[in-house]
Amino acid sequence: MPLSLLKKLVSIPSVYGNEREIADFVEDFLKEKNPRLTVIRENNTVLAFENFNPEKKTVALVGHLDTVPGENEYEGQVISGKLYGLGASDMKAGDAVILKLAEDFSKESSRFNLFFILYEKEEGPYVENGLQSVFKKYGELLRRIDFAFVLEPTDNVLQVGCLGVIHAWFIFKGKRAHSARPWEGENAIHKGWELLKYLNELEPRKVEVGELTFYEVLSATMVDYSGGRNIVPEEFRVNLNYRFSPLKTVEEAKGDLVELKGKVRADSVEFTDLSPAARPCLDNPILQEFRERFSVPLQPKQAWTDVAQFSVHGIDAVNFGPGQPHQAHQRNEYVEVGKVKECYRVLKEFLKA
């Protein structure tokens, strides 16, 4: 049972950008507990894998090492079946399961080639994510993976696929003037009325993918303008957050927003963040077997996770982890110990020969 490992992991501070100490621990643990593994360190990301048997499929277990900043006054304590600590649910419980399985399979046989990935900088911008550098440097190696479990907090629910994400500024241009004489200018905020009306009336778009239902949604999440309280602004910017279905590419989703620009008469669109969706891989034979053997609930991932990074490289991946999603990024974060035990039991049973 990975409880002692989890206590150790939550005792190591690893706020985004400061993962060196926990990566050192993970690297040393894997080398000591499973000498059969080849271990690679890339910055503060650790990759570990066995010799590849061509007669076996390859399964990866994946987790991020970083946390967001936070406070936890019960750090490391188990109270009423809950272990408290920063990152306990998101996602050091999953990391502890991964490390315990790596230790177990130094002594036992797995019917898969096993590949372990524990990476840095998940909790920040997409371009800085630790998986970005390992896919660039070790892409050929990673493409040996046939299926990946990403142990993000899902409450031991199987979450398949994920939405893509775009952030884009819709920019409206006007002419600066004194607010006492607005007729001398053109109010850029007022020019944005068609966009705001469109968004206010927009309903979520249901997208069926096999037995899964995703919802495409588009929201204004920030605004910016030039000027002051008594100035007619010459520029008004609205940040749109577009969550698009797994059936669309990033380019197709960008096209949706470019088309919207014309409808609402924005002057320009500035794309600032582009994250692909993940294929809902219900047809993957490894996932199909997993579902047949274990009666775990199934959900679409109505959000974005790093399964998309695997999907864009042609690797099927799902989220399945012991953490509680509602505890992610919370003060006094905890994880239910029973959930950790159950996730460990299910994955060990599935992987063993």
Residue 1 is predicted with a pLDDT of 66
Q: Could you tell me if 115 and 143 are in contact, meaning their C-beta atoms sit under 8 angstroms apart?
A: no
108 band by pLDDT with thresholds 50, 70 and 90: confident
Strand order, beta sheet including 45-49: 38-42, 45-49, 113-119, 58-64, 147-150, 317-319, 158-160, 298-300
pLDDT higher than 90, residue 13: yes
Which of the residues 19, 50, 120, 122 is marked catalytic? 122
Q: In the annotation, is 122 catalytic?
A: yes
Task: Give pLDDT tens digits for 62-85.
Answer: 999 999 999 888 888 899 999 999
pLDDT higher than 90, residue 123: no
Using only C-alpha atoms, the chain has a radius of gyration, in whole angstroms, of 23
Per-residue pLDDT, averaged over 29-35, amounts to 96
Contacts (Cβ under 8 Å, ≥6 apart) of 145? 58, 59, 60, 115, 310, 315
Where do the H-state alpha helices sit in the chain? 3-11, 20-33, 93-104, 130-142, 188-191, 193-201, 250-264, 285-293, 307-311, 337-351
Where do the H-state alpha helices sit in 105-178? 130-142
Half-sphere exposure of 68 (CA within 13 A, CB side): 13
Contacts (Cβ under 8 Å, ≥6 apart) of 206? 213, 214, 215
Per-residue pLDDT, averaged over 21-40, amounts to 97
What domains can you pick out in the chain, each with its CATH number?
3-161+278-351 (3.40.630.10), 164-275 (3.30.70.360)
Residue 240 is predicted with a pLDDT of 98
pLDDT higher than 80, residue 45: yes
2 band by pLDDT with thresholds 50, 70 and 90: confident
Which of the residues 66, 155, 306, 333 is marked catalytic? 66
Residue 168's nearest CA partner among 102, 262, 254 is: 254
**Cα–Cα–Cα angle for 97, 275, 201, rounded to 5 degrees:** 115
Per-residue pLDDT, averaged over 139-155, amounts to 96
Distance separating alpha carbons of residues 165 and 97, to the nearest angstrom: 29
Q: Are strands 212-225 and 205-209 parallel, antiparallel or unpaired?
A: antiparallel
pLDDT, mean over the chain:
95
Residue 107 is predicted with a pLDDT of 84
Give this prediction's pTM. Answer: 0.89
Q: CB count, 10 Å around CB of 251?
A: 9
